Amino acid sequence: MESQFYLMTFDSVTHSMQTEKLAKRQFPVIVMPAPREITQSCGLALKFLIWEPKKIEQFFQSLSVPCRLYKMGTSHVDGKRPLELVAEVQ
């Protein structure tokens, strides 16, 4: 099992729903509340349930809606999960 996962956040619920439909064609994903550390205006995040960095990052680069892609650790360090902004679409 991987010690991290990819997470996408959005500026609107509409963008999160549109992206979820596209992502489900290629990946197992779930919609979840965005972690407090990275909450955007809609408060939803898309969690990728597989670890395929190249494929997920290529999918992200193909999007035209404002969103952010993060890598987030599964274990806590000093009460927080490690978090890294990978890319952003404005």
Residues 6+ apart with CB under 8 A from 74: 1, 2, 3, 4, 5, 81
* Closest-CA residue to 48 (of 14, 78, 74): 74
Q: Is the pLDDT of residue 47 over 80?
A: yes
Q: pTM (2 decimals)? A: 0.89
- Helix, strand or coil for residue 51? coil
Percent of the chain past pLDDT 90, that is, above it, reads 70
Paired with 30 in beta bridges are: 47
Burial class (CB in 10 A: 0-12, 13-18, 19+), 10: buried
Using 50, 70 and 90 to split pLDDT, how confident is the model at 40? low
